[in-house]
């Protein structure tokens, strides 16, 4: 007798990623634990970094793109006087600088100069693609390519001393696409020397906070609608739900969108956005998901 496949699971998992593990490793472990192949994450964390990682399960993988643009908050330590090939402490030392004269006030002033709307060059260790190949893959081959600076926003950038000389604790809130390791390197340059990052931790992604996160083996599967906390919820009748299932355009709802549409049972059926005065499907789920 053929074994019955377990029912598909859908939802959001808020993981507290440990150090020494890639974001892909987290996905692989959750696939095994939950028995669901369709699992993906939003907002990659470096292997050495810890903290909040959002993971979509089942149909919620299709909603992950809606979370990629959320602001993020991090803490880390910036080590002045030493630069590395990866801009963090996992790389090889590429330079040393005498920065004994740098004071806490100097570091705070440099941090202020890197706050607000700035242009940032992505590091070679990033996952951005150039001519179809990721930068970190090129970096492993010893290849460095020209990268265009991109606009990012640093909402706050605070600096506190630590017990170690020339090591400072930083707390930053940044727009999506901002590289904190590049901020650390730019901070060192602004101070007339160099720097690298260590002990990076992500505390939040948008409304998703570390207080809700848990280790991989105990993190809970939250309802699918939890992935859309910042999206206006609209309850629709059965006739409209049938139109949504067919991917039909709808009259504009109240507000400017996007809108998470739920049926009369409270199950998520799709996400619509405003286009040319109409509500247009961004994501339509193959079946309602509670």
Catalytic residue, from 16, 25, 46, 71: name it. 46
CA 174 – CA 71 distance, rounded (Å): 6
Secondary structure percentages of the chain, helix, strand, coil, to 5: 20, 40, 40
Question: Among 168, 157, 177, 163, which Cα is nearest to 116's?
Answer: 157
Three-state SS at 140: helix
Query: Around 122, how many Cα atoms within 13 Å sit in the side-chain half-sphere?
Result: 20
Dihedral angle at the C-alpha atoms of 174, 131, 136, 50, nearest 10 degrees? 40
Q: Please, what is the angle between helix 180-190 and helix 104-113, to 10°?
A: 120
Question: Among 126, 122, 145, which Cα is nearest to 136's?
Answer: 126
- Biggest CA–CA distance in the chain, Å, is 76
Helix (H) or strand (E) holding 111: helix 104-113
Dihedral angle at the C-alpha atoms of 240, 246, 247, 248, nearest 10 degrees? -60
CA 92 – CA 213 distance, rounded (Å): 32
Beta bridge partners of 113: none
Dihedral angle at the C-alpha atoms of 7, 12, 18, 23, nearest 10 degrees? 80
Is 276 considered catalytic here? Answer: no
Q: Are 8 and 40 in contact (CB under 8 A)?
A: no
Q: Calculate Rg over the CA atoms of the chain.
A: 22
- Active centre residues (catalytic): 46
């Amino acid at each position: 007798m053929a074994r019955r496949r377990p029912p598909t699971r859908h939802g959001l998992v808020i993981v507290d990623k440990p150090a020494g593990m890639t974001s892909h490793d987290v996905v692989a472990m959750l696939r095994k634990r939950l028995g669901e192949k369709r699992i993906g994450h939003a907002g990659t964390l470096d292997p050495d970094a810890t903290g909040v990682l959002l993971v979509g399960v089942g149909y919620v993988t299709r909603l992950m793109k809606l979370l990629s643009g959320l602001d993020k908050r991090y803490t880390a330590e910036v080590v002045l006087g030493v630069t590395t090939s990866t801009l963090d402490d996992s790389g090889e030392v590429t330079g040393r600088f005498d920065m004994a004269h740098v004071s806490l006030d100097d570091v705070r002033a440099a941090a202020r100069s890197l706050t607000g709307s700035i242009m940032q060059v992505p590091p070679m260790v990033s996952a951005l693609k150039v001519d179809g190949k990721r930068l970190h893959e090129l970096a492993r081959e010893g290849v460095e390519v020209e990268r265009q600076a991109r606009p990012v926003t640093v909402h706050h950038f605070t600096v506190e001393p630590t017990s170690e000389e020339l090591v400072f604790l930083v707390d930053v809130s940044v727009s999506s696409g901002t590289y904190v390791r590049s901020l650390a390197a730019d901070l060192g340059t602004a101070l007339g020397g160099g720097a690298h990052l260590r002990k990076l931790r992500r505390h939040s992604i948008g409304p998703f906070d570390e207080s809700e996160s848990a280790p991989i083996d105990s993190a809970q599967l939250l309802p699918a609608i939890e992935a859309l906390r910042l999206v206006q919820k609209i309850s629709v009748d059965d006739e409209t739900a049938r139109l949504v299932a067919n991917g039909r355009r709808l009259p504009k709802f109240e507000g400017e969108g996007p809108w998470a549409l739920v049926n009369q049972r409270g199950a998520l059926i799709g996400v619509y956005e405003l286009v040319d005065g109409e509500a247009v499907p961004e994501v339509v789920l193959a079946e309602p998901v509670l």
